[in-house]
Amino acid sequence: MTNTHNTAPTQFVKANDVKYAYRWFGTTSGTPVVFLQHFRGGLDNWDPKVTDGLAKDRPVILFNNAGVASSGGEPSNTVSGMAKHVITFVNALGLTQIDLLGFSLGGFVAQEVALQSPDLSRRIILGGTGPQGGEGMASLKPKAAEHATQETPVLENFLYLFFAPSETSQAAGRAFWDRRHGRADQDVSSSMAAMGAQADAIAGWGVVPETDRYGQLKKIKQPVLVVNGHDDIMVPSINSFILQQHIPNATLIIYPDSGHGAIFQYPDLFVSHARLFLEK
Amino acid sequence: MTNTHNTAPTQFVKANDVKYAYRWFGTTSGTPVVFLQHFRGGLDNWDPKVTDGLAKDRPVILFNNAGVASSGGEPSNTVSGMAKHVITFVNALGLTQIDLLGFSLGGFVAQEVALQSPDLSRRIILGGTGPQGGEGMASLKPKAAEHATQETPVLENFLYLFFAPSETSQAAGRAFWDRRHGRADQDVSSSMAAMGAQADAIAGWGVVPETDRYGQLKKIKQPVLVVNGHDDIMVPSINSFILQQHIPNATLIIYPDSGHGAIFQYPDLFVSHARLFLEK
């Protein structure tokens, strides 16, 4: 491996008039795992312990959807539209098979990619996420919404939204915050316009379908690993159980004393679990 | 390691007038993991892949509760009474700290051991089990009860009760059945009297408390790993989620395409997960 999370250059690929930003590092062989980011997040909202941990034995590709952070183009206001951008981007890189790691909103998008292009993804990891029209996903509670929509999100907002109130979880949150700022040339912030489009997409995804509530999940045929924290205040943890129950080949892992950002609280353990899943 | 699942002699230790049967193998150092067995099961109802897998880097102790299979004494008809026997047995061996792996009824007993003797267990693995008064635990469905109470249980009964109806799960069930019969001198069957007492204990455990339904679980302070299959027809899988949500330091893993006996369907993966949990 020549590059790492902190040294891989930000690259761009143009397709359908959109200039997509990405970083590609890790091994040269193996199925690349494409990371799909959360609400408002860019290339530097991942945990280097997770990305470098997985990059030890596979290529890792971090990706900004259209209009998000350093990517060009218009931000999509639907999960379906975001999934189309992922597929366009992967095709533009000349890849025919990938693994997906979708976190939060990125997990919604990963499910849609699996539905729109069933053979593109070999395996899928869904973190801190839920099915379309899941439990308690129609809107955030007011305090969570306030933390989630600050013009310039700070540590305090992430500690509230991504970690449990316990001392141990909050300390893990601060350690994550330090790690994720270790790279010198941080990605630019996502615009308020992108935030608005993403909020619309999340609201649309949260609507409970009138019939066959979780029926789409049966169509996701590849192995899926669902992971979350004990009490996710952004996408309630019961939705991880629901995903496991409705996706035909899904494994569930829920971590203790943690919230939405559990994979950043237990990065080493999560990487061990993810590698077992990706390699088995 | 000199002995294995198939070669470790059946030993006996007497305490409080009960002659407890057990087998002890694995490494000489490390915290021993004591295995607590399911309804009607004896020393040979475990999967050698699981026991030998864990015995690679810790001592493993298989145990028959009082009156069960080759153990002497009267079978207890309460989970609380069974837990007292476990504590008596562990003390009789001169052990001051153990790990517990409780499967199904053994998982009920493991929870009770944690409540009665909070410092005895360092870490606890709960497989295919649920909390006192959990969801759908008051009684088995008629077809499951029929399979579970045959005088001489056969492969067909275990395939129905422990594995999913899919071809893959059923094939895994047959492979488990072969492995578990690999030892020449199999433990004797548990008596019908033991079955009756255990059935009473299970029925008592299934009663929903009138107040503070899952309140006892807050008192289990050590790290716990909860594992189950996708659709457990003996102890509904939602109870594994409930255990994770109410035990303060619990991790949950649910496996796909599987049932009550998921740890015997994915023995290698389960051992990997269990080792990560026991060692972290």
**pLDDT (tens digit per residue) in A131-165:** 999 999 999 999 999 999 999 999 999 999 999 99
Asked whether residue B209 carries a pLDDT value surpassing 70, the answer given is: yes
What is the Rg, in whole angstroms, of the alpha carbon atoms belonging to chain B? 17
Q: Could you give phi then psi for residue B121, rounded to 5 degrees?
A: -100, 130
Residue A252: closest C-alpha in chain B: B254
Q: From the list A249, A257, A269, which residue is nearest B276 (CB)? A: A269
Quickly state the pLDDT bin for B30 (edges 50, 70, 90): very high
Residue A74 CB-density burial (10 A; 0-12 exposed, 13-18 middle, 19+ buried) = middle
pLDDT, average across residues B85-111: 98
> What single letter denotes the amino acid at residue A273?
H
Quickly state the pLDDT bin for B138 (edges 50, 70, 90): very high
Cβ-based interface (< 8 Å): residues of B facing A? 223, 230, 237-238, 241, 244-245, 248-257, 269, 272-273, 276, 280
Q: In the prediction, which pLDDT does B184 show? A: 96
Q: From the list B223, B248, B253, which residue is nearest A253 (CB)? A: B253
Residue of A125, A230, A242, A270 to mutate, interface with B, max B Cβ within 10 Å: A230
Percentage of chain A exceeding pLDDT 70: 99
Q: From the list B230, B252, B280, which residue is nearest A254 (CB)? A: B252
Asked whether residue A204 carries a pLDDT value surpassing 60, the answer given is: yes
Q: In the prediction, which pLDDT does A198 show? A: 98
CB A27 within 8 A of CB A57: yes
Percentage of chain B exceeding pLDDT 90: 99
Percentage of chain A exceeding pLDDT 90: 99
Q: In the prediction, which pLDDT does B13 show? A: 98
Q: In the prediction, which pLDDT does A238 show? A: 98
> Two tokens at A179?
């790690």
What is the Rg, in whole angstroms, of the alpha carbon atoms belonging to chain A? 17
Asked whether residue B1 carries a pLDDT value surpassing 60, the answer given is: no
DSSP secondary structure code for residue A208 in this structure? P
Q: In the prediction, which pLDDT does A2 show? A: 76
ipTM: 0.97
Quickly state the pLDDT bin for B122 (edges 50, 70, 90): very high
Asked whether residue A280 carries a pLDDT value surpassing 80, the answer given is: no
pLDDT, average across residues A190-214: 97
Q: Find the helix or strand (DSSP H, E) in which A255 lies.
A: strand A250-255
DSSP string, A30-74: S--EEEE--TT--TTSS-HHHHHHHHTSSEEEEEPPTTSTT--SP
Q: In the prediction, which pLDDT does B148 show? A: 97
Distance CA B130, CA A225 (A): 23
pLDDT, average across residues B32-52: 98
Q: From the list B249, B253, B257, which residue is nearest A249 (CB)? A: B257
pLDDT, average across residues A183-208: 97
Q: Are strands A59-63 and A33-36 parallel, antiparallel or unpaired?
A: parallel
CB < 8 Å to B269, chain A: 276, 280
Distance from CA of A44 to the nearest CA of B (A): 28
- Tell if the CB–CB gap between B269 and A280 is shorter than 8 Å: yes
Q: In the prediction, which pLDDT does B54 show? A: 98
Q: In the prediction, which pLDDT does A78 show? A: 98
**pLDDT (tens digit per residue) in B227-238:** 999 999 999 999
Quickly state the pLDDT bin for A76 (edges 50, 70, 90): very high
Asked whether residue A52 carries a pLDDT value surpassing 90, the answer given is: yes
**pLDDT (tens digit per residue) in A114-133:** 999 999 999 999 999 999 99
Q: In the prediction, which pLDDT does B182 show? A: 98
Residues whose CB is less than 8 angstroms from the CB of residue B103 and which lie 6 or more positions away in sequence, other chains included: B35, B36, B37, B38, B41, B127, B128, B129, B263
> Two tokens at A10?
């930000």
Asked whether residue A1 carries a pLDDT value surpassing 70, the answer given is: no
Percentage of chain B exceeding pLDDT 70: 99
Asked whether residue A247 carries a pLDDT value surpassing 80, the answer given is: yes
Distance from CA of A255 to the nearest CA of B (A): 5
